[in-house]
A and B are shown apart, each in its own frame.
Chain A
Amino acid sequence: MIRRAASGAVPIALLAWLLLAQGCAQPQLRGTGDLGLVVERASGSVQVVETSAQTVLGTVSGLGDLSHASAVFSRDGRYAYVFGRDGGLSKVDLLQRRLVRRIQQAGNSIGGAISQDGRMVVAQNYEPGGIKAFDAATLELIADVPANYGSDGRSSKVVGLVDLPANRFAYALFDAGEIRITDLSDPAQPRTSAYSAGLQPYDGLVTPDGRYYLAGLFGEDSVALLDLWHPEAGVRKVLVGYGRGEERLPVFKMPHLRGWAVAGHRAYLPAVGRHEVLVVDTETWQEVGRIAVRGQPVFVIARPDGRQIWVNFALPDNDWVQVFDTDTGLGVTTLTPGRAVLHLEFTPRGEQVWISARDDDRVLVYDTRTLRQLASLSAQSPSGILFTARANRIGF
């Protein structure tokens, strides 16, 4: 051990000398806790941003088709793994602002997750369906878990993939109407359990403590709930019949559950085809209220302290963002940050929210207390905004 440490000291000294010799080319040391990505969906690039002074540090290009792209972060917050619509998986170094590695892992993909130990990234795929696990360091394939179902073994599109404690992953099968849990603690031998969930699950979330998995159902008026401490009890339907038999509005954009709004003992969920946010008690899983909103919600996200929820909307109401106080249930304000608001992301402690306005090619930063705009940044067709604090949260 002592010899190893001593021999390791020589290259470090050499490196330090080389850096000094380069003079002003010496990179400035910095952490990654205030960094994040803005996905530029039409140009296949991501901006690396920092939230302390609200600036763009640089752009990394060559990431393929990023319509519906998402990203997860390495546990040290240095690397982002970007999942593209075209099935590309790209590893981006936030500090050096460069593409480290890129693979084509599927024909059509929708997102991914990273394991509890940070050693694998897992992609959820539409074409072919199923999930695939990759070594987080090298992006080598380490497990391929198909999502076949029915007597003829058809392949289902996978949605709602989240990481769970113990290197397990939960996800939902849109075509098969199932929730599945795959244990990848031994990637050579994945073990999968399937639970009947209901018609057309469209997305999923796991509660912040990793205990409950919820899959929103598109094909019926309810939400499928699985208690991950007692999965053998099977799926329980909650919010059954929340549409009260009324005809749904046409859904021009699927709501998203990931990026949840769980605040205190309440979860705030988008109603499908209705201008409502549904409020559920997370101990009884009974509906405890509804919030009338001005469009069909897409993202319903709680400020990290749980005091506010912020909501954006599907077409034709996608220029609006509404803010509600979770204590009073009342609206705080309605904002028009720009045209086609696609996503919002809070800084880790919630003092800022970053909002992407796709059709204005802008990202707007707001102070969540004063509701004043702090910055307006230029970005090409921005969609997802993802901060490195996700690296430290279950389900992100």
Chain B
Amino acid sequence: MCSLPAASADPGRDARLIRLVRQDCGSCHGMTLQGGLGPPLVPAALRDRPFPNLVATVRDGRPGSAMPAWRSLLSEDEVEWIVRQLVAGFPLRPE
């Protein structure tokens, strides 16, 4: 019933990650993810970027930029889930 990209075995976790991305990533990338101090994170902006590079950017940050490493707050699974959602078009709110 729910749309495929957001489907998950753990809706509680998903809701937490959706809030984190919209609200906290949103403080630099914009709540609509259209960009701000950080670049846009909408599908069109990410299309040509290899999946492992995007995961590494979230996990390890980008030295020399304002992008922090999120590995102290997010597991590898969570980072991968977020990147998959971003590439597909990030959910507005939990299902």
Contacts and interface: CB of A to CB of B under 8 A. Distances in A.
A67 B66 contact: no
Contacts of A159: 37
B45 to A, nearest CB: 13
Given A108-B35, A157-B37, A65 B30 contact: yes
Contacts, number: 67
A41 B27 CA distance: 11
B94 interface: no
Q: Assign chain A's interface to a size class.
A: 20 to 34
A338 to B, nearest CB: 14
Contact of A42 (B31, B36, B37): B31
Interface stretch (A92-100, A133-141, A248-256): A248-256
Interface string B1-45: 000000000000000000100111011101110111100000000
B66 A108 contact: no
Interface in A292-330: 315-316
A67 B30 contact: yes
Interface residues of B, number: 22
A174 B37 contact: yes
Nearest to B69: A250
A86 B69 CA distance: 26
A181 B73 CA distance: 40
Q: Main SS of chain B's interface residues?
A: loop
Contacts of B66: 200, 202, 218, 251, 254
Contacts of B28: 254
B89 interface: no
Contacts of A68: 27, 30, 36
B36 A41 contact: no
Contact of A86 (B24, B32, B70): B32
B2 to A, nearest CB: 21
Q: Which of B22, B26, B36 has the most CB of A within 10 A?
A: B36
B61 interface: yes
A381 B31 CA distance: 12
B32 A65 contact: yes
B37 A126 contact: yes
B50 to A, nearest CB: 23
22 contacts: A41-B31, A42-B23, A42-B31, A65-B31, A65-B34, A67-B26, A67-B32, A85-B32, A110-B37, A157-B37, A202-B66, A218-B66, A250-B61, A250-B70, A251-B68, A252-B68, A252-B70, A253-B27, A254-B28, A254-B66, A358-B23, A359-B19
